[in-house]
Structure 1
């Protein structure tokens, strides 16, 4: 007789294990370290959601200091989610055409699996990051008047856009902020028209992505209520 174990692991555990194994297999077969880098970047992109969940727990304990500290850490780590989009540049090192012509796609399975690994990483990272931002936004709406909440959201977009530029071009990480002198020295020498344009472009992309995510989330909630 078939039965389901009461304490069986959540399906996300199996999905995570599968993704990790695929990434390791790709690295072993192709010798491309980018597949390990992508795995690490996916982990960093999920840190903001973990921090937000911890914030919700601290709210229940009414610990304002820890809640504020987690909020600052969230802002520091959130840009790791939209940063994942720039990892698509690593596809340039993967061949998708035959060597004879660019009109015929390769049948190399590992090339296509590499595409799936990077694409899946971007989807997971963006979904997790936008969900954490949605929770943060609604915390603002509960505690601030609407104009201030929207202004705070806009500042997050701009900060995230600048952080994507800093991470991709200056190769600085979230934890480099804990070394402010070195961090400020690095970024002050790279303020130019391109860095500003790229940062604003990235900020716009984050804003558009969040708007789309919010609409989809609200639509799904409305459909769910209709079927109750």
Structure 2
């Protein structure tokens, strides 16, 4: 007789199901749409990782046209990952503590659940996005000299920083870039000191976040090779 094979779901699947149920429950209890929108935002944040893997496969197959098309598509969707940090603004109006003679922390459990929910989504989505950038970065290092790669990465940081401003303040989505006339018209009408400052601030945030995760991912990769 053949041994019975038992299906053992990946723990990641449990986490996904739990987060979906967690989101729906919080939305039902608080009526805050951000808890449902986090699911959509997380999906968009995971797309760059999928695209980066597909790009590497196309590059390995020496399908240059598909590689460059996927690379541009990755650049379009990557900002959705760091953009997640701006979702913390939806906690506005929720008080976690009051001040007076002493600080008194809120005992409203739902408020703390909202904070944890958005925090988990932001962390996981950011990890996914930064992993996709790490894959792209190392692919570049295999193809180009380090100074050229540094220039490319700097342009990616700046472009993504601008995209974070466009997404948060102009409420444009990644796919709106495929309507260039309308897209450029909206963007050019909002070039000012604040938009430039916010874009550069976002670029710095992406830069610092990426290099933190880069050290982490590299250490994990080396540890994995050492344990083989």
Q: Same fold (TM over 0.5)?
A: yes
Number of corresponding residues: 226
Q: Which residue of 2 aligns with 1:10?
A: 10
Deviation (angstroms), 1:95 = 3.3
Which stretch shows the higher mean deviation, 213-222 or 189-198? 213-222
Which stretch shows the higher mean deviation, 61-70 or 173-182? 61-70
Q: Which residue of 2 aligns with 1:73?
A: 73
> CA RMSD for the aligned pairs?
2.2
TM-score (structure 1 length as normaliser): 0.91
Q: Which residue of 1 aligns with 2:46?
A: 46
8 Å Cα contact 2:131/2:217 also seen in 1: no
Deviation (angstroms), 1:213 = 1.0
- Please say if 1:116 is aligned against 2:131: no
Deviation (angstroms), 1:198 = 0.8
Q: Which residue of 1 aligns with 2:191?
A: 191
Partner Cα separation in structure 2 for residue 91 and residue 46 of structure 1: 23
Partner Cα separation in structure 1 for residue 46 and residue 133 of structure 2: 12
Alignment of 1:119-198 (within 5 A): 119-198=119-198
* 2:172 match: secondary structure: coil
Partner Cα separation in structure 2 for residue 72 and residue 166 of structure 1: 18
Alignment of 1:50-61 (within 5 A): 50-61=50-61
Partner Cα separation in structure 1 for residue 5 and residue 114 of structure 2: 35
Q: Which residue of 1 aligns with 2:87?
A: 87
Partner Cα separation in structure 2 for residue 135 and residue 102 of structure 1: 48
Deviation (angstroms), 1:5 = 5.0
Partner Cα separation in structure 1 for residue 206 and residue 66 of structure 2: 27
Which stretch shows the higher mean deviation, 37-46 or 160-169? 37-46
CA distances 1:84-137 after superposition (whole Å, capped 9, x unpaired) = 111111111333247999832222222111111100111011100110000111
Deviation (angstroms), 1:172 = 0.6
Partner Cα separation in structure 2 for residue 11 and residue 122 of structure 1: 19
* 1:93 match: secondary structure: coil
* 2:104 match: secondary structure: coil
CA distances 1:116-168 after superposition (whole Å, capped 9, x unpaired) = 11001110111001100001111111111111111101100000000001111
Partner Cα separation in structure 1 for residue 188 and residue 113 of structure 2: 40
Deviation (angstroms), 1:180 = 0.4
Q: Which residue of 1 aligns with 2:37?
A: 37
CA distances 1:20-69 after superposition (whole Å, capped 9, x unpaired) = 11000000111111111122111111110011111223234332222211
Taking a change above 3 Å as real, the CA distance of residues 222 and 60 of structure 1, as seen in their structure-2 partners, is closer
Taking a change above 3 Å as real, the CA distance of residues 8 and 60 of structure 1, as seen in their structure-2 partners, is farther
Deviation (angstroms), 1:77 = 0.2
Deviation (angstroms), 1:217 = 2.1
Gaps of 5+ in 1: none
8 Å Cα contact 2:48/2:129 also seen in 1: yes
Gaps of 5+ in 2: none
8 Å Cα contact 2:157/2:204 also seen in 1: yes
